[in-house]
A and B are shown apart, each in its own frame.
Chain A
Amino acid sequence: MNKTFDIEELSAELGVDGHRKPVNTTETNRILRDFNLFKRGESQLAMTPVGGVHAVKSPDFKALEKTNPEVAQAMGQVGKEFRSF
């Protein structure tokens, strides 16, 4: 997305500040599944540019370590803390 992105239009479309979309059960279960995969060390978590999160397999994460080592390091650190509880 570029700088001409119309956040006001998107806010009106999606609903914001008290006018939330109902939290979807399928999506809730998907988040829990992805968080648990991450916690067990079976995947890493990747964030999308707008703020989504999903599990990615370890080989994909190894590619990230090569292309963007700082992000990979930060995510690895988050993972360590996540798995320590």
Chain B
Amino acid sequence: MKLPTWAMKNTEKYGRRIIHEHQMLEEQYPLFELQMQNQKMYAEGVLITGNRNIYKVRVCYPDDYPNSPPIAYILDKDVMRDSSVPHTYGVSDSGDGTEGLRICVLNPHDSVGQSWQPNFSVVTIIHLAVMWLHAYEVWKVKGIWSLPEH
């Protein structure tokens, strides 16, 4: 069984972790699935905001996971095209040549153990992506960012 690069450090321990995260994902975000390409693992699916807008989201596991948090991208072109969207790192390759808008959901100045803890999971980042998308829709109407400024 092929595992992502980060899980090769301890296949037993991290293999179990992948199973656990997959279960959490199925329970809490059933429109997401774990996928893997070239030993890069990511969760991809859709989120539907309270305004009934649908967004495609990809959350990529970094090679040093779980010491570093997964990275969230919005894959919709209309969101990517708007360069004025706040709290992003801009458009970049999300791992397999697919472009996405990398969103800022954690304070980049935090060290491990602050806003991100290694016992969190990909589901934590999807929670934050949900909040980011709702803040984005508020920003489109009111021009204010209603989440923490990083």
| Co-assembled chains A and B | yes
> A51 and B147: CB pair below 8 A?
no
Complex Cα distance A28/B131, Å? 13
> B54 and A71: CB pair below 8 A?
no
Is B94's beta carbon under 8 Å from chain A?
no
Report B73 CB to chain A, min CB distance, Å.
Answer: 14
* Interface flags, B100-130, vs A, CB<8A=1, else 0: 0000001100000001010111011011101
> A70 and B24: CB pair below 8 A?
yes
Complex Cα distance A77/B107, Å? 12
Chain A contact residue count (CB 8 A cutoff): 42
Q: For chain B residues 12-61, which have a beta carbon within 8 Å of chain A?
A: 24, 28-31, 46-56
Report B17 CB to chain A, min CB distance, Å.
Answer: 12
> B50 and A27: CB pair below 8 A?
yes
Chain B contact residue count (CB 8 A cutoff): 45
> B49 and A16: CB pair below 8 A?
no
Collect the chain B residues with CB atoms within 8 Å of residue A18's CB: 76-78
Complex Cα distance A1/B119, Å? 27
Q: Which one of B119, B128, B133, B137 has the highest number of Cβ atoms from chain A below 10 Å of its Cβ?
A: B137
> A74 and B138: CB pair below 8 A?
no
Is B97's beta carbon under 8 Å from chain A?
no
Of A5, A21, A35, A77, which one neighbours B31 at CB under 8 angstroms? A5
Collect the chain B residues with CB atoms within 8 Å of residue A84's CB: 148
> A14 and B52: CB pair below 8 A?
yes
Is A53's beta carbon under 8 Å from chain B?
yes
Of B52, B115, B124, B146, which one neighbours A32 at CB under 8 angstroms? B146
Is B87's beta carbon under 8 Å from chain A?
no
> B78 and A20: CB pair below 8 A?
yes
> A70 and B119: CB pair below 8 A?
yes
> B54 and A28: CB pair below 8 A?
no
Is B96's beta carbon under 8 Å from chain A?
no
8 pairs of A and B residues whose beta carbons are closest in the complex: A51-B47, A18-B78, A85-B148, A74-B124, A50-B48, A16-B54, A27-B50, A14-B54
Other than the known A28-B138, A53-B130, what 12 A-B pairs have Cβ atoms closer than 8 Å?
Answer: A7-B31, A10-B54, A14-B54, A22-B51, A27-B50, A31-B135, A53-B131, A70-B121, A71-B24, A78-B131, A84-B148, A85-B148
